[in-house]
Amino acid sequence: MSAQSPTVDNASALIGFDELVGLLHAVFVKHGTSPQVAATLAHNCASAERDGAHSHGIFRIPGYLSTLASGWVDGQALPVVTDVASGFVRVDAGNGFAQPALAAARDVLVTKARSAGIALLAIHNSHHFAALWPDVEPFAEEGLVALSVVNSMTCVVPHGADRPLFGTNPIAFAAPRADGPPIVFDLATSAIAHGDVQIAARKGERLPPGMGVDSLGQPTTDPRAVLEGGALLPFGGHKGSALSMMVELLAAALTGGHFSFEFNWADHPGARTPWTGQLLIVIDPSKTAGQSFAERSQELVRQMHAVGLRRLPGDRRHRTRAKSLEEGIVVELDALNQLRDWAS
Ligand code: NDP
Ligand code: PYC
């Protein structure tokens, strides 16, 4: 524990957002990333922790470090951006992380979206080990609509099949609105994210029914049975399964990345990151006819509240964010001490 980290109780402490970004930056650089890659990943990971997106915050750091140590991913990769067409940008992430590839292409993507009304970013040869909302929310904060999909690693049984094939394949969407933070959702197309299964296993908790199967394909609520030879199910039966298939097509087939079943960690003990692809679509809604898009999205929110809706997707995150920025981010003391060890 450091003098700057007031304790909450015996098990947890408070840390400021900037301090956490700095600590994570030091951890990434110490474990082989370039300072630029470290800056992007540290901001991403600290943002998840700040917003209470725990399955993709500090919890992920051991996976990042073991993957870097295994040589599976290049923490120093320099993304190569290609301006393919008026509304199409491609990035070869160079076997590095997806977020620095997005950062490298961001300016040209936004310029194209504002000029043509829509632009697409296809990232391949990339590793995405994080929450997806940080990739789309900033576009909506500057008035754009953004949609992203990324595929992961085989652990989901397509609806009606016998064995896993798809990844947990999230879809994230962000849109501006007039009187509040952007409307954002970010959801795995599996019934539960793989990260949450790991967290349940670590805490000794059961999963809700309908999330996964064991190694014999039988329904189970035991997260260890899912992780040790079992698999997850798509959310919503055939509907989630179709969306997961779409994510494979857009994030891998369209980008030139690997499908979730097309890579193998076997030769790289410690590898944890999916080597796949990611697609982003950015739309400039100022090109739409009529009232401003942000006013229209605000009206939709107003009407949802009027029929009794209390929680929009993103509300929980924004509430947690406000509290974290006001009081500090609550972090387990053991995890904080571990980060300090790794950074030093
Ligand atoms: P959740 O099921 O927890 O949440 C999905 C979305 O629904 C969020 O936008 C959430 O908002 C919203 N939401 C949740 N509960 C409610 C409710 N009761 N009412 C209204 N809205 C609600 O997320 P998942 O478990 O599906 O995914 C967790 C994370 O895992 C995501 O960030 C995803 O990107 C990440 N992931 C990453 C992968 C990768 O390959 N990189 C693969 C799979 C998942 P809020 O956030 O405000 O709670
Ligand atoms: O939680 O399913 C998940 C996941 C896969 C890759 C990164 N997160």
**Model pLDDT, residue 3:** 45
The answer to whether 55 is a known catalytic residue is yes
- 3 C-alpha vs ligand 2 centroid, how far in Å? 34
**Model pLDDT, residue 7:** 77
Q: What are the boundaries of each domain within the chain?
A: 1-70+328-344, 77-187+237-312, 191-233
**CA–CA distance from 48 to each of 71, 151, 274, 278 (Å)?**
25, 19, 19, 19
Tell me, which fold does domain 1-70+328-344 have in CATH?
Answer: Hypothetical Oxidoreductase Yiak; Chain: A, domain 1 (1.10.1530)
Regions of the chain where pLDDT drops below 70: 1-4, 289
Tell me, which fold does domain 77-187+237-312 have in CATH?
Answer: Ribosomal Protein S8; Chain: A, domain 1 (3.30.1370)
- 287: DSSP letter: G
Tell me, which fold does domain 191-233 have in CATH?
Answer: Wheat Germ Agglutinin (Isolectin 2); domain 1 (3.30.60)
- pTM of the complete model: 0.97
**Model pLDDT, residue 236:** 98
**Fold match flag (77-187+237-312 vs 191-233):** no
**Model pLDDT, residue 291:** 78
Give the ligand whose atoms come closest to the C-alpha of residue 149: 1
**Model pLDDT, residue 4:** 58
Two tokens, residue 181 = 């933070």
| Closest residue CA from atom 8 of ligand 2 | 129
**Model pLDDT, residue 113:** 97
- 249: DSSP letter: I
**Model pLDDT, residue 130:** 98
| Closest residue CA from atom 23 of ligand 1 | 187
**Model pLDDT, residue 110:** 98
Q: At what angle do helices 333-343 and 17-30 cross, to 10 degrees?
A: 50
